[in-house]
Amino acid sequence: MEREAAPPAPAPAPDKPAAHVVLLASPGAGHVLPMAELARRVVTHHGDGAEFTATLVTYTNFSAAEHSFNALPPSVSTAVLPEVPLDDLPADARVETRILTVIKRALPHIRDLLRSLLAAAPAGVAAFVPDVFSSWALEVSAELGIPGYIFCTSNLTSMHSIIHIPELDKTTACDCEFRDLPEPVRLPGCVPLRGADLADPFQDRTDPVYPLMVELANKCLLADGFIVNTFDAMEHEAIAAFNVLSDRGGYPPAYAVGPFVRTCSERRRRQPAGIPAGRVRGENQQRHRARRGGMGPAGGDPEPRGHRRVPVALRVELDAGGRGRGRAVAGVAAVRRAEDQRGDAV
């Protein structure tokens, strides 16, 4: 009796194409460099066998960012949007006015770029991540069916104060500047903020930048989520309170992915606990101590935590067709911390 032939082995499943993320940094090295770091983490920190590629988009070239661009992994490409004219702006226009005008006028270029990436990327574009200043671009990503997430390089209290501005604008007198508010601004889970502590572009309602900033705050609410440079140990109550508001549908969800820090230098790690990180040396250091009345708990400083660096591994999940929170349609980008380990001083 002849033995039956074994069935042929199944063909290996084709490799799943890498999910592609597009990140948009507002003009200025202070916006470009943090976004470059996020791009690096997106493609290098992942789990469950997922792979990612990214395109970092900027509005113009900045020499300060060249080193970071050169250090980016090969899976991060870069693109520069065409320059837009600003000749019609007054010579004394604020820098924020110029930045926001560039962003609004560049929207057609952003649309063209996203369309080309949608056509070229094997898996399409899984997520679009502008920073806070570029929130207008969320209209374009929504138009193209790409989930959009705001990246806030500051903390959640700062992000919450920005998106609260439209409500504050409606409920306070038009002739009253925020710096003159008699009562502090109270946000759930956050420390009370004096009106004068709100961002400077919000402090003069007669300045052309003010309506632009209010519009910016409204555009932020188009996001499917906020990726925030914060962590639970720093803003536990603020994060918990914001999550409650998000679950009720008041705001998009916030993902705490911080802190974004560089590993401390050997010199800094060798310093005794209690010495400030700035260059306060010798006579200047003594004057600093005298003004503060000492260092450490006795001088009003918090108890040293016993460590110098906070290594954090980010886990990025982009699941096409996954469970979406908010208005995500084509997929979900949920950036969260998978590990928050604190190393002891070396």
Q: Check if 20 is active-site.
A: no
| Active-site residue, selected from the candidate residues 46, 131, 160, 169 | 131
Catalytic residue among 20, 31, 45, 164, which?
31
Q: In the annotation, is 232 catalytic?
A: no
- Which H, E and C letters describe the chain, residue by residue? CCCCCCCCCCCCCCCCCCEEEEEECCCCHHHHHHHHHHHHHHHHCCCCCCCEEEEEEECCCCHHHHHHHHCCCCCEEEEECCCCCCCCCCCCCCHHHHHHHHHHHCHHHHHHHHHHHHHHCCCCCCEEEEEHHHHHHHHHHHHCCCCEEEEECCCHHHHHHHHHHHHHHHHCCCCCCHHHCCCCECCCCCCCECHHHCCHHHCCCCCCHHHHHHHHHHHHCCCCEEEECCCHHHHHHHHHHHHHHHHCCCCCCEEECCCCCCCCCHHHHHCCCCCCCCCCCHHHHHHHHHHHCCCCHHHCCCCCCCCCECCEEEEEEEECCCCCCCCCCCCEEEEEEEEECCECCC
Kindly list the catalytic residues.
31, 131
